[in-house]
Amino acid sequence: MSEKAVWEVRLGLYATEEEATRIVERITALLCPDPEHESPCPVPWSVALTPEEDLDEEDYAELREQHEIESRPPTTG
């Protein structure tokens, strides 16, 4: 079995700030359903919400492209 190490699981969202905050709250509840427990979580974790302006331009380029494609009006024809 391999040794434990820090891993980063990234999730890019195209959402409003309110929607993104709600999703972070749901992820937090999944990772720690009882925030009032006394002992540390069995798997230590942290979560952060980073706005688009703080990301590198190349971060989530495919997500931005997907949003542009899906936001186009349908072609008739």
On whether residue 59 sits in a domain, the answer given is yes
pLDDT digits 0-9 by tens, 5-20: 999 999 999 999 999 9
Query: C-alpha dihedral over 25, 71, 56, 15, to 10 degrees?
Result: -10
Task: Name the residue with tokens 């979560």.
Answer: 47
Question: What is the residue whose two structure tokens read 């949003």?
Answer: 67
Report the alpha-carbon distance of residue 77 to residue 28 in Å, rounded.
Answer: 46
Residue 29: strand, helix, or coil = helix
Query: Considering the domain boundaries, does residue 8 fall inside one?
Result: no
**Assigned domain for 76 exists:** no
What region does 67 belong to: left with phi over 0, alpha with psi -120 to 50, or beta?
A: alpha
| Full residue range of the structural domain in which residue 23 is found | 17-71
How many distinct structural domains can be found in the chain?
A: 1
The answer to whether residue 42 is domain-embedded is: yes
User: pTM of the predicted model, to two decimals?
Assistant: 0.73
pLDDT digits (tens, 9 = 90+) for 18-68: 999 999 999 999 999 888 888 888 888 999 999 989 988 888 899 889 989
